[in-house]
Copies of this chain bind each other. A is one copy, B any other.
Amino acid sequence: MPIFDAREVGAINERVGDLGEHALIRRISQRMATTDSVVVGIGDDAAVAKLSGDAVMCTDAMVEGVHFRRQWSSPSQIGGKIVARNIADIAAMGATPVGFTLSLTVPADLESDWVQELISGVNAECERAGSAFVGGDTTSGPTIVLVGTALGDTAGVAPVIRSGARSGDVVAVLGQLGCAAAGLALLMRGRVEGEACVSVQQLPQPNYASARAAAAAASSMIDTSDGLIADLRHIAVASAVDINIHKASVPMAACVRDAADDCRVDPWTWVLTGGEDHAFIATFAPHQVPVGWHVVGEVSNGRGEVTLDSQVWNHAAGYEHFTNHTVPLLG
């Protein structure tokens, strides 16, 4: 790993282009979370980590203007969110996070302090998840693009996949739904901070440990990146079952209700279709639902349909890239 050079502490208004790629990497590498699993960390061609089970791997991107705005989120929040989005997927497999890599594309005129605060956020969320931050890639480009990749370890537990739901299982949720969507609506109305839902939009806090702890009991699991109905549809299709949700059982956070009053919209749209909360949804045999999970519906024989109180949900099911041209962040 490169040696930190105290002379490289950032000057006022210093830009990434003033600093150069290798000095930037040296600064970043000072701050990287590590664990005992890491055999080779940053500074070589690749990182090496010891696993006790199978390797689990996923990747997820955030593009400025599509997934975040710099005026709405601090660099630390943006850095934390790229970690949370990825490690939530590792946890949704029932796996333990081990390593995280970040590919960072930034314009040369970006302030180097912004990048360093972003890296602090990456590290903080890696530490919260128990993962090491093992390396990455920095490159110049016209738009900020962050791509995270997370490595996990099944650690002797069979991976919890989407296709395991069975007729007779119940559907349960861990965490809040609709907060990130409500937070986005508030941000669009100029509320930058201090509201619970805004905080979830800026930096979701998935309960990785409880998701992993549920792995032995869950027949299927997913994190809510696209929205409750859209993500349940992924499970229903993969498992070739139908899923019915009882609206009265679905929890609604106070901040979602308040934001809906404020914005004069139906809060259920956020709760049922809002993505980016990175809550967890899983199916369990009845009586095997772990503490902290909230039962919201059940699984029956079928063909991949998701219903709400036995009715088809006729509104948009969740976010889809490219075709959701009206998504506010693209505006």
Contact A162 B45 (CB under 8 A): yes
Q: Which of B101, B145, B330 is within 8 Å of A57, CB to CB? A: B101
Contacting residues, chain B, for A129 (C-beta < 8 A): none
Interface residues on A, range: 35 or more
Contacting residues, chain B, for A95 (C-beta < 8 A): 46, 48
Contact B103 A60 (CB under 8 A): yes
Check A135 for interface membership: any CB of B closer than 8 A: yes
Identify which of residues 298-331 in chain A touch chain B, using a CB-to-CB cut-off of 8 Å. 320-323, 325, 330
Docked pose: A147 CA to B45 CA in angstroms: 16
Q: Which of B66, B151, B162, B221 is within 8 Å of A43, CB to CB? A: B162
Contact A60 B320 (CB under 8 A): no
Q: Which of B60, B161, B320 is within 8 Å of A137, CB to CB? A: B60
Closest to A149 in B: B149
A contact residues vs B (CB 8 Å cutoff): 16-17, 19-22, 24, 39-40, 43-51, 54-61, 63, 65-67, 89-90, 92-93, 95, 98-99, 101-103, 105, 108, 134-143, 145, 147, 149-152, 154, 159, 161-162, 221-223, 238, 320-323, 325, 330
Query: Beyond A20-B321, A44-B161: 13 further Cβ-contacts under 8 Å?
Result: A16-B322, A20-B320, A20-B322, A22-B320, A47-B56, A47-B58, A48-B56, A50-B55, A59-B137, A66-B141, A143-B143, A147-B147, A149-B149
